[in-house]
Amino acid sequence: MNISVVIPTMDEPAIEGVLHDVFDALRQQTVEVIVVDKSQDETALKASELGAKIIHQTGTGYGDAYITGFKHISKDTDTVVILDGDYTYDPYDIPALLQPIHDGADLVIGSRFALMDKGAMSRRNALGNRMITALVRSLYHVPLTDSQSGMRAIRRPALDRLKLQSPDMPFATEMIIEAQKEGLAIVEVPIRYRNRVGQAKLDPYKDALSILFTTVRLVRDYNPIVIFLPIGLVLLLIGFGYGIGIFIEYINTGVVTRFAGAILSVLLILTGLQIVLFGLLADIVLTNLRRR
């Protein structure tokens, strides 16, 4: 195998340890390591001394770092591995990630939940991860347990097919959704996860929200009916529920006493109907676009 390992770094004091272990774990293979750096400290210098190719990131963000790094992969590379530069992921797990690729998988994701060191992931992050993973699983039917894992291996031609645009943390989710849309074979393998060395760059609340938002936006673009149909149906139901009493009163007495209620109910029903119809229409348009 010809492997490119891409590592984004922003002031990562443990980069030497990570690089040492990457080269050692892959000593039987042809390897290039690309460090996409946005540091104020010596990270880039240390990485370069250990034999990594350094790309100085001009943009910002975790996703942007990978998008930049992927443009510099050598043309001989057939498999790309990604991981953090903070010593949380264990480079000696890379061979376990490459095995399924060898057996035919396109994208392999390391799942951290089985072998996680105590305190390596805060409860809050674990909960957020579980919620987003459940969403991805139910909306896209990808059988994953750790959608936010940053340690992955992907076949080069598969990577080239993905439209990756998220500059920040939603990048990880976008990659899975894109892979699923492309019909790639996605496999998960258990990996270790250790306590971070150095400062976290993740902003738990802001990043969780933006990951959630991106997931919903991607669903809206990919499978709009999943978003629009339930919203429309809920409005329709509320409208009917509200209006039925007023309607029965009208049938029995011939008068409408709750006039505002009647208007509200009609508005809810019409809006709900419009949203349902919009979802159906978007679905028809997308289906036809995809057939081309």
Residues in touch with Mg ion (CB under 5 A): 84, 86, 88
Report the greatest alpha carbon distance in the chain: 88
Residue 85 binds to ligand GTP (criterion: CB under 6 A): yes
Residue 138: CB minimum distance to ligand GTP, A = 23
Per the CB < 8 A criterion, the answer to whether 11 and 30 are in contact is no
Residue 91 binds to ligand GTP (criterion: CB under 6 A): no
Instruction: Give the dihedral sign, CA 174/71/110/83.
Output: negative
With CA atoms as reference, report the closest residue to 225 among 139, 165, 142. 139
Residue 55 binds to ligand GTP (criterion: CB under 6 A): no
Considering the complex, state which of residue 167 and residue 261 has its C-beta at the smaller distance from ligand GTP: 167
Dist CA 96 CA 253 (whole Å): 75
Q: Which of 4, 5, 6, 8 binds ligand GTP (CB under 6 A)?
A: 8
Q: Which of 4, 31, 44, 62 binds ligand GTP (CB under 6 A)?
A: 62
Residue 196 binds to ligand GTP (criterion: CB under 6 A): yes
x-marked contacts with ligand GTP along 109-138 as a string, rule CB under 6 A: ------------------------------
With CA atoms as reference, report the closest residue to 173 among 196, 206, 207, 205. 207
* Adjacency order of strands within the sheet including 186-193: 53-56, 30-37, 2-9, 79-82, 152-155, 107-116, 186-193
- Among 53-61, 177-185, 222-230, 267-275, the segment contacting ligand GTP (CB under 6 A): 53-61
Residue 36 near which of ligand GTP, Mg ion, none (CB within 5-8 Å, type-dependent):
ligand GTP
Q: How many Cβ atoms sit within 10 Å of the Cβ of residue 11?
A: 17
The backbone torsions φ and ψ at residue 109, rounded to the nearest 5 degrees and listed phi first, read -115, 130
Residue 234 near which of ligand GTP, Mg ion, none (CB within 5-8 Å, type-dependent):
none
Report the interface residues with ligand GTP, using CB under 6 A. Answer: 8-10, 12, 36-38, 57, 60-62, 65, 84-86, 88, 150, 196, 200-202
